Amino acid sequence: MSNRKFITTGVNIPKTSAPISQAVVAGNYCHISGQISVDSEGKFIDGTIEEQTELAFNNLLAVLKKTGFSINEIVFIDIAFTNLKDLEFVNPYFDSLFEVARKPARTIYQAAALPAGAKIKVMAIAIKDNI
């Protein structure tokens, strides 16, 4: 019997048109698919990098909450940008989300393009110590 749980579009998490699970919980690991700045109906919301960052992270945290994990259990964040210069605007927001002693590992990179014309996409891995 599998101990995997597949989280798809549902109440309190943004809809996606992609043929994916928005998160997969396998044992004490949670892998969250890339989140961009879409509203609850899955409509892309264009805006400044600050606005897109906040909405993408809000979506990531909504999916995380749906899995039963918390922000303090995030151990890794992957952030794709269409312009690496936007990191200077994202770092302060990222810093505000996580306690000093609980900052996750992170990768950043520049992508030629992101879905729907997004400027940023965020993905995460969380781990529970006890399940």
CA distance 126 to 52: 22
CA distance 62 to 60: 5
Q: How do residues 47-101 score in pLDDT, each as one tens digit?
A: 999 999 999 999 999 999 999 999 999 999 999 999 999 999 999 999 999 988 8
Three-class SS string for 67-92?
HCCCHHHEEEEEEEECCHHHHHHHHH
CA distance 41 to 47: 17
Q: Is 3's pLDDT higher than 90?
A: no
Residue with tokens 């749906």: 66
Average pLDDT over residues 105-109: 97
Give the pTM: 0.92
